[in-house]
Amino acid sequence: MRNKYDLKKRVLFIVCALLLSISSAASAEAQTTATSAVKLTPQEKQLIASFDRRVKDYLKQRERAKKKLTPLSKEATPEQIEIYQQGFVTALRAMRAGTKPGYIFIPAFTQYVRTIIQTEFPPRDKKDITKTLLEGETKGVPLKVNYPYPETKELTEMPATLLLKLPQLPKEVKYRFVGRHLLLVDTDNSLIVDYTHNALP
């Protein structure tokens, strides 16, 4: 009986993983299509290409930090996973010591985000986006590179209409707003990779 039960659990896990993979792929494809639909000037294309390179630079740092750790086994306990994550963050923070704000979100990119919000949405949509982002319980989140996003604070989700207008991110990082300020946060360990003030007009 136990073997049958374990088999059912494994099958269910595999099905869920496949569905999640399909959903993520569809979402990524939709985001790419929507982003490419925004008419970009040559300068904006260059800006986004530069942004992509800086994000990839962070991913390379991330991989180098991971290589310093002993890989987790498939049978790792929750305690071992927690220790691994702590070691990951420590190694990554040490590697990025001295990194200042604007490493990824350069001023021109912040202005690009502001322009997208101001010009790509009708007034009612802009009002809804602003309301959604400003209502998040994010008071007390530190605007500091290499600091963790507090687990007790709300992760304000980006409105889908806005997310689809911004450059697509790899799965390892995500956009987050804290009030009017835009953050780039590591998906796995909640480390604040970069931030910029007043990206929300």
Q: What is the pLDDT of residues 161-199, one digit of tens each?
A: 888 889 999 999 999 988 889 999 999 888 999 999 999
Q: For residues 178 and 143, is the Cβ–Cβ distance under 8 A?
A: yes
pLDDT of residue 127: 85
**pTM value > 0.85:** no
Nearby residues of 165 by Cβ (< 8 Å), 6 or more positions away: 34, 35, 38, 116, 120
Q: For residues 144 and 190, is the Cβ–Cβ distance under 8 A?
A: no
Q: What b-and-e string marks burial along 72-82, b requiring 16 or more CB atoms within 10 Å of the CB? A: eeeeeeeeeee
pLDDT exceeds cutoff 90 at 112: yes
Which strand (E) or helix (H) includes residue 181?
strand 181-186
Structure tokens at 15: 């099905």
Averaged over 4-12, what is the pLDDT?
43
pLDDT exceeds cutoff 50 at 98: yes
Instruction: State the DSSP code for 166.
Output: S
pLDDT exceeds cutoff 60 at 158: yes
pLDDT exceeds cutoff 60 at 147: yes
pLDDT exceeds cutoff 50 at 149: yes
pLDDT in tens, 27-57: 444 444 444 456 788 999 999 999 999 999 9
The span from the CA of 181 to the CA of 101, in Å, is 12
pLDDT of residue 40: 81
